Amino acid sequence: MVEAGNARKVQENVFIQPDWRADGGARRIRVTRDGVLIARRLSGVAMKIRVPLDAYQGVALDVLPAEDGSPLYLLSLAHRDSDFDILLCKTQDGGAVAADWKYWASWLGLPRLSAEEGVLRPLEAGAPVARRRDANVSQRRPRFLARRK
């Protein structure tokens, strides 16, 4: 987990997060622009799972009450399967988490989501801009067939 405000201009981020099923109770997560790699050991067997970024719904911000009554902000990558959710930062600083929320969403090319009572809602109207190949690529003919009529 990265402290709010510290996730700037990095090509990959590595997190160690709790995982009650893993040996040692932790898993190692690497987040890049290409996808997410989750590594853990289960009963002595090393496991690695690569999850593409388009499998994630977006970057979700959830606000919970802290022990002292102040708001606690949780910023995470939201997946349909909660086992693949990744906690990006946990802080009580609202300004820093807002900046990180915008940064993570633009860096990963995912929409910003608001988590309210367990329901994810998109913050912006419209679909996110995905990094995809040109739409007419499938309509092009291969080079060696382009000469033939």
Q: Which domains does the chain have, with CATH numbers?
A: 12-118 (2.30.29)
What's the pLDDT tens digit per position in 15-53? Answer: 888 888 888 889 999 998 888 999 999 888 999 999 999
What's the pLDDT tens digit per position in 96-113? Answer: 898 999 999 988 889 999
The pTM of this model reads: 0.69
Say how far apart CA 82 and CA 77 lie, in whole Å: 10
Q: State the chain's mean pLDDT as an integer.
A: 80
Identify the weakest region by mean pLDDT among 44-53, 90-99, 123-132: 123-132
- Res 149: pLDDT: 59
pLDDT at 73 over 80: yes
Say how far apart CA 119 and CA 116 lie, in whole Å: 5
Going by pLDDT thresholds of 50, 70 and 90, the confidence category of residue 70 is confident
- Res 52: pLDDT: 93
Going by pLDDT thresholds of 50, 70 and 90, the confidence category of residue 119 is confident
Q: Residues for the chain: how many in total? A: 149
pLDDT at 122 over 70: yes
User: Which residues make beta-bridge pairs with 49?
Assistant: 38
**Are 17 and 4 a contacting pair, CB within 8 Å?**
no
Say how far apart CA 6 and CA 43 lie, in whole Å: 34
The helix/strand/coil state of 11 is: coil
